[in-house]
Amino acid sequence: MTSTLIIGATGLLGSELAKASARNGDRLHVLVRPATAGNEERLRLLKELGAKIHVGDLDDYDSLVRAAGAVDRVISSVHVDSASEMTLVRALRDAGVSRYVPSAGFGLDFAAAAPGSIPPLDLKRDVFSAIKEADLPYTVIYTNGFFSTWVATLGDLMRFGSAPLPPE
């Protein structure tokens, strides 16, 4: 039986990933921030799924190594900055996970834009460079743009991640 750590399992996408992992028969592990660990309402679904809950933070290398060291693979569904993502990549390499599905792999392929033209895609490019340098086995799931991103920008990648919703 495979064990899977879901990072971001209390969020919309992460909770769906946790449910799918449990349906798949995986031993489910989740990483939650200290502030979330005491919130029974946010943890209820995860406990119902039989998840082992690890308390940690993406900026806390030691907590990441402890959680990742208990599993075979890690799926991240959180939107993080480059420093947090690089800490996570280092921790997963050092913990020896067999597969990583990075949050940077959801959404658009960074190859959709030239380097330096769209900062969020440059972050993805940097993350994948770090993953490759770490020789970390990974899987990418390009979903194209999430609807909320496209509605907010009306498909204009130059406004990616920074625009309010358009008027009615």
Enumerate domains of the chain plus CATH numbers. Answer: 3-159 (3.40.50.720)
Confidence of residue 151 (pLDDT cuts 50, 70, 90): low
Whether 40 shows a pLDDT value over 70: the answer reads: yes
The residues, ordered by sequence, that sit 6+ positions from 87 with a Cβ below 8 Å of its Cβ are 58, 59, 61, 64
91-109 mean pLDDT: 86
Residue 46: both structure tokens together: 């995860």
pLDDT at site 115: 85
Q: Under 8 Å CB-to-CB from 143, ≥6 apart: which residues?
A: 106, 107
Q: H helices of the chain, where?
A: 12-23, 34-37, 40-48, 61-68, 82-95, 119-133, 147-153
- Residues annotated catalytic, as ranges: 124
More confidently predicted of 105 and 96: 96
Lowest mean pLDDT among 44-48, 82-86, 141-145: 141-145
Percent of the chain with pLDDT over 70: 80
**Alpha-carbon torsion (9, 10, 14, 18), positive or negative:** positive
